A and B are shown apart, each in its own frame.
With several copies, the nearest count.
Chain A
Amino acid sequence: MTDFPSPDEIRTEELLITIIARLVEGCRLVSCGASSPIPGGGCLLARQQSGGAMQVNVLGSRLNNLMTNGGVELFDWAAQGRLDAFFLGGGQIDGQANINLVGVGDYPQAKIRWPGSFGSAYLYFLVPRVILFREEHTRRVFVDKVDFISTPGTSDPEVYRTGGPYALVSPLCQMGFDKVRKKFHLVSVHPGHTVEEVLDNTGFAIDVPDHVPETVLPDRATLNIIRQQISLEIAETYPRFAAKVFPEAVNAA
C-alpha cells in the first residue's frame, strides 16, 4: 500500500513540484524557462519517474542543458513539434487564459511596467501543454480581463495553433482549461485550502464541479526523491531556492 505523509509534513513547494511532475507525465521533451525553480523541479522529478524516456531542458543549467544551437533552439523545438510542455507565468492572467507580462494601465506608458512578453506570444501557440504557474494566487494576478494581451489563451480556428493552456497551478489549487468554452474549471484544491478561498482570490469566473477533490499529495517515496535527489539537481541552477526549501539536503551535500 502506498504510504502518504500527512499534509503538514509537506512543504508547498514540494506539493507544487509533485503536481507539475504529474502534468508533464508522458512528455518526450519538456523545458522550463528562466527563474523557474518549481517548474524545473517538477520536470526533473517527472524525468526521474519516466525511467529515462523524458528529456528535460533547464534554462540556465549546465548539467541539464540540451541546447547547442543558441538561444533560438528552444523556440525551434516548439515549432518543430518536439517540445511537449512549457511553463508561463504572468503579471495578470485572465479568465480566457490571456496572459499579460507587459504592464498595468494604458500601453505603452503603463502605470506599472513589467519586463515584457519574453517568448510567451510564440510558445503559447506551439507547445501542447503550457502550464500556467504562479506562486501568488490573488485577484491582482487572476483578473477578469488583462490590460495587455502578451499572448492570447485561445485563437480563432484559422490561426495555426498546436499549443495552449493545459493547466493552471497555484499554491491554492489546480485548474484545467476548456478551449471550446474558453473557461477554467477547478480540478482540485490543495489540502488546507477551500473552494471558497479559491473563489475569493480569483478575479475571473471558473467552473466548479459539484465535488472538488483534494489535491493528491506526493507519496512518501516521491517525497524522498524530491528531498534527496531533485533538491540537489535544482540546486545546481537555483542555489538560493534550494538552500531555502531544502536546507537539509543542501547542507548535507
Chain B
Amino acid sequence: MTGLIHDSVDSLAALIPDGAKIAVPADYTGVAMELTRAMIRRGVRDLYMVCLPVTGLQGDMLIGAGAVKTNETSAVTLGEFGGAPRFQAGIGDGSLTIKDATCPAIHAGIQAAQKGIPYMPLRGMIGSDVLANRDDWKVAQNPFSEEEDPIVLLPAIKPDFALIHAKKADRHGNVFIGIRREVMALAGASRQTLVTVEEIVDGNLLRDDTTATGTLPALYVGGVAEARQGAWPLAFWEEYPTDEAHMASYVAAARSPEGFQSYVDQYVTGGARAAAAE
C-alpha cells in the first residue's frame, strides 16, 4: 500500500467534502480532535454526523462551527463539564436536525453496514419516543415467532468517512487500535476511515504478533496523518488525561456564539493550539 500517509492533518481534512456522512466515536475510543480543528479550518459544511454512540467536544465544536446539518446520536455531552452548549443552542434554534437514537441502535446500524446487510433487528425501544420520532426505523413482526412479537428494524448506517485518533500506524496504513474494537465495526461500515495517530512507526503492525490482534488493517483506511496529542484537550486511552482547565474554559466560552467564535479564532484558526497542548 502506498500513499496513505499524509504530511498534515489539514491534508487529511481536505478529503472530506461538504455534505459527507461522517462517523465519530465516543471519547473513550479516541477522538480525532486535531482533525476536527482542521475540518473547521477548511470550513466543511452540511455534514451528516453519526456518533458511535455518543459525542462530546468534537460534536459540539463541529455543530458550533456550522459544519453539521444533521446529527444522529444517542447523546451529546461534555460529561463532568456539563451539557454541550453549541449542541443545545443548535437544538434550541432549530438550526441542527437531531436524530435521537439509543446507543445499541447505532451500534446495530453500524454493524449492519459492516455486514453488508440492509438492516438489523434489535430488541427494546418499543413504546419510547426515541422510536416514535424515527421515521427511518420500522417495527415488524418477528418472522420466527408464532406469537405476536414486534421488533424494531434498524437500517444500515453507511458513513462515507469514519474519523478516529489512534496510538500508532505503520507506513502501510495499518492502525493500532488496541482494545477499542468498535473501530473495527466503524471502519467496516464506512467507505473509508481517516486516522490521526500519535506516531507513525516503522515495520508492519499486522506481522507483529503482539500488535496484530489490535490492528485495523490498511484496507479500510483512506488516509493517516501524524498528530501528536491529537485528541487534545480530550483524554486519550491511557496515554494522557483530559486537559480539565481547557475544557472548563471551552464550556465558559461556548455559552455564546461570540464566545465560541473567539475560542475558534484562538485555538482552531489561530496559533494558540500548539502552545496550549504543550
Q: Do A and B come from one complex?
A: yes
Name the contact of B29 in the complex, choosing from A34, A71, A149 (C-beta under 8 A): A71
What does the 1/0 interface line of A115-139 toward B look like (CB < 8 Å)? Answer: 1111111111110000000000000
Name the contact of A113 in the complex, choosing from B26, B88, B131 (C-beta under 8 A): B88
A159 and B206 contacting across the interface, CB-CB below 8 Å: no
- Nearest CB of chain B from residue A159's CB, rounded to whole Å: 5
Residues of chain B whose beta carbon lies under 8 Å from any beta carbon of chain A: 1-2, 26, 28-29, 52-54, 73-77, 79-80, 83-84, 87-88, 91-94, 98, 100-105, 107, 111, 113-117, 122-133, 147-151, 179-185, 188-189, 206-207, 212-220, 238
Instruction: For B52, give the chain A residue with the smallest CB separation.
Output: A71
Q: Within 8 Å of chain B (Cβ to Cβ): is A158?
A: yes
Residues of chain A whose beta carbon lies under 8 Å from any beta carbon of chain B: 28-29, 34-35, 51-53, 55, 60, 62-63, 65-73, 75-82, 101-103, 107-111, 113-126, 148-152, 155-156, 158-160, 240
B100 and A102 contacting across the interface, CB-CB below 8 Å: yes
A66 and B28 contacting across the interface, CB-CB below 8 Å: no
B149 and A160 contacting across the interface, CB-CB below 8 Å: yes
- In the complex the two chains form, what is the Cα distance from A101 to B207 in whole Å? 33
A116 and B76 contacting across the interface, CB-CB below 8 Å: yes
- In the complex the two chains form, what is the Cα distance from A70 to B102 in whole Å? 16
- Nearest CB of chain B from residue A88's CB, rounded to whole Å: 12
- In the complex the two chains form, what is the Cα distance from A60 to B28 in whole Å? 8
Instruction: For B204, give the chain A residue with the smallest CB separation.
Output: A63
A-side contacts of B91, CB under 8 Å? 103, 108-110, 113
Name the contact of B181 in the complex, choosing from A28, A68, A115, A240 (C-beta under 8 A): A68
B180 and A70 contacting across the interface, CB-CB below 8 Å: yes
Instruction: For B126, give the chain A residue with the smallest CB separation.
Output: A159
A81 and B116 contacting across the interface, CB-CB below 8 Å: yes
A68 and B123 contacting across the interface, CB-CB below 8 Å: no
B-side contacts of A52, CB under 8 Å? 1-2
A160 and B123 contacting across the interface, CB-CB below 8 Å: yes
A126-B123 contact, Cβ under 8 Å, with A55-B218, A68-B215: yes
- In the complex the two chains form, what is the Cα distance from A53 to B4 in whole Å? 11
- Nearest CB of chain A from residue B158's CB, rounded to whole Å: 9
A65-B206 contact, Cβ under 8 Å, with A107-B129, A116-B54: yes
Instruction: For A155, give the chain B residue with the smallest CB separation.
Output: B127
A-side contacts of B29, CB under 8 Å? 71
- Nearest CB of chain A from residue B97's CB, rounded to whole Å: 8
Instruction: For A156, give the chain B residue with the smallest CB separation.
Output: B127
- In the complex the two chains form, what is the Cα distance from A40 to B186 in whole Å? 29
A-side contacts of B148, CB under 8 Å? 158
- Nearest CB of chain A from residue B276's CB, rounded to whole Å: 22
A-side contacts of B129, CB under 8 Å? 102, 107, 148-150
- Nearest CB of chain A from residue B77's CB, rounded to whole Å: 4
B-side contacts of A120, CB under 8 Å? 102
A118 and B75 contacting across the interface, CB-CB below 8 Å: yes
B124 and A126 contacting across the interface, CB-CB below 8 Å: yes
A55 and B1 contacting across the interface, CB-CB below 8 Å: yes
B-side contacts of A156, CB under 8 Å? 127
A107-B80 contact, Cβ under 8 Å, with A70-B180, A122-B125: no
> Could you list 12 further interchain pairs (A-B, Cβ under 8 angstroms) beyond the known A68-B206, A71-B29, A150-B130?
A68-B181, A69-B184, A76-B115, A77-B219, A79-B115, A79-B123, A111-B92, A113-B87, A116-B100, A158-B149, A159-B126, A160-B149
B126 and A107 contacting across the interface, CB-CB below 8 Å: no
- In the complex the two chains form, what is the Cα distance from A103 to B88 in whole Å? 10
A118-B103 contact, Cβ under 8 Å, with A29-B219, A70-B180: yes
A116-B75 contact, Cβ under 8 Å, with A63-B207, A72-B111, A125-B123: yes
